[in-house]
Amino acid sequence: MSGEYFLVVGCGSIGKRHIRNLLEVGVKNVVAFDIQPSRREEVRGRLGVTVVDALEEAWEYGPKVAVIAVPTSMHIQVALQAVERGCHLFIEKPLSHNMEGVDQLLDLVRSKNVVTLVGCNMRFHPGIKHVKKLVEEGTVGKVVAARVEVGQYLPDWHTWEDYRLMYSARRDLGGGVILDAIHEIDYIRWILGEVAEVFCFAGKLSHLEIETEDTAGILLRFVDGAIGELHLDYVQRIYSRTCHIIGDEGTINWDYSSGKVQWYSVATGDWQVLTNPPGWEPNEMYLDEMRHFLRCLSAQEKPTLDVFEAVRVLQVALAAKASAETGQVVRIQA
């Protein structure tokens, strides 16, 4: 793919990260677009890639791949334009903020036979990968429950910009902690399987000046009967990200900040620990994700989360939002 153009649409923090990583993994031809002139100038000056002033100009390059890193509410409209032109797709999470246009995109992806990947980088975290491996190997027996948490103070995310203007804070751009933290919904579903029912309490509970929910407590019942408890927030002043898996023959704990997976199994009778590889940095998740995408483009691997699978994740997130509004359990269609 090195001789073909990769178009990056959206040059915020994640868009710039993807540009840097594309260059690092050997992609030579990158063209970028953002609606903000200041971002275009930054990308042109600091990253040295081709930048266009209008999306229509970008299509003239005949890109083979579109990396979509615009706000969530714009994902589908840009993706449709890309697939209509035969582009393979890398779409930042979540797939969208609602189901409008999703079926049209799925039909188009099928008819054009393009490769798609939705960016959920936590699937490439060494700790989460090991938790999944332990569950699959039956190390803790039958899983009956999981507790998942993520929280960080929203103004600390991007200290160089006003958090009140970020997409996370704006309803019209698809913000809110449920969709923002869809990583947690995605990876626990990846580990434990399909979700059958969802219940949620959520709201804007803090003093943050935002339009969207800043705190959510989500209950999941998985198809096999296991119960998941998810806590998501924009409020915690100290970053916290953890996962606790309870099986009938043991327990698994993962903590992002410590870089450790710890597990107890009755088969061994003691605790075992796995730490992140020496020198591991968070960007390695994103690099591994992009390398995986390149291997998918060359048919060496199948996407870990294509648009069809990402729809299932989105349905769980939207069910949580619907439950928070109605106070009712929402059942996920099989």
Query: In this structure, is residue 75 part of a structural domain?
Result: no
DSSP category for residue 128: H
Q: C-alpha distances in angstroms, 223 versus 132, 189, 247, 334? A: 17, 10, 16, 9
Range with lowest mean pLDDT among 56-70, 77-91, 125-139, 167-181: 167-181
Mean pLDDT of 15-32: 97
CA distances from 71 to 13, 117, 187 (A): 11, 17, 22
State residue 159's pLDDT score: 87
Q: Is the pLDDT of residue 255 over 90?
A: yes
- Of 304, 309, 277, which Cα lies nearest the Cα of 292? 304
Q: Is 37 helix (H, G, I), strand (E, B) or coil?
A: helix
Q: Report phi then psi at 32, rounded to 5.
A: -130, 150
Digit-coded pLDDT (tens) for 197-216: 999 999 999 999 999 999 99
Say if 101 falls within a structural domain.
no
On whether residue 309 sits in a domain, the answer given is no
Instruction: Identify the DSSP state of 30.
Output: E
Question: Which structure tokens are listed for 101?
Answer: 């246009």
Compute φ and ψ for 184, nearest 5 degrees. -65, -40
Asked if pLDDT for residue 269 goes beyond 70, the answer is yes
Count of residues making up the chain: 334
Residue 218: enclosing H or E segment and its boundaries?
strand 215-222
Residue 52 lies in a domain: no
Q: Tokens 């030579």 sit at which residue?
A: 28
Helix H or strand E encompassing 19: helix 13-24
pLDDT at 330: 98
pLDDT at 1: 40
Distance CA 214, CA 232 (A): 8
For residue 334, pLDDT over 80 is answered with no
- Whole-angstrom CA distances from 28 to 19, 31, 88, 330 are 11, 10, 17, 46
Mean pLDDT of 67-84: 97
Written as one letter, the residue type at 6 is F
Which pLDDT score, from 0 to 100, does residue 2 have? 42
Residue 257 lies in domain: 126-279+327-331
Q: What is the pLDDT of residues 145-188, one digit of tens each?
A: 999 999 999 999 888 889 998 889 998 888 899 999 999 999 99
pTM of the model: 0.95
Answer for the pair 154, 210: CB distance below 8 angstroms, yes or no: yes
In the block, residue with structure tokens 């989105």 = 314
Which residue, among 204, 235, 197, has the nearest Cα to 219 in the 3D structure?
197
Confidence of residue 3 (pLDDT cuts 50, 70, 90): low
81 lies in some domain: no
Is the residue at 130 inside a domain?
Answer: yes
**CATH number of the domain where residue 264 is located:** 3.30.360.10
For residue 64, pLDDT over 90 is answered with yes
Q: 16 in a domain, yes or no?
A: no
Cis-peptide, bond into residue 94, ω within 30° of zero: yes
CA trace torsion 54, 57, 58, 61 (10° rounding): -170
Please tell me the total count of domains within the chain. 1
Tell the burial category of 135 from Cβ atoms under 10 Å away from its Cβ (0-12, 13-18, 19+). Answer: buried
Residue 216: inside a domain: yes
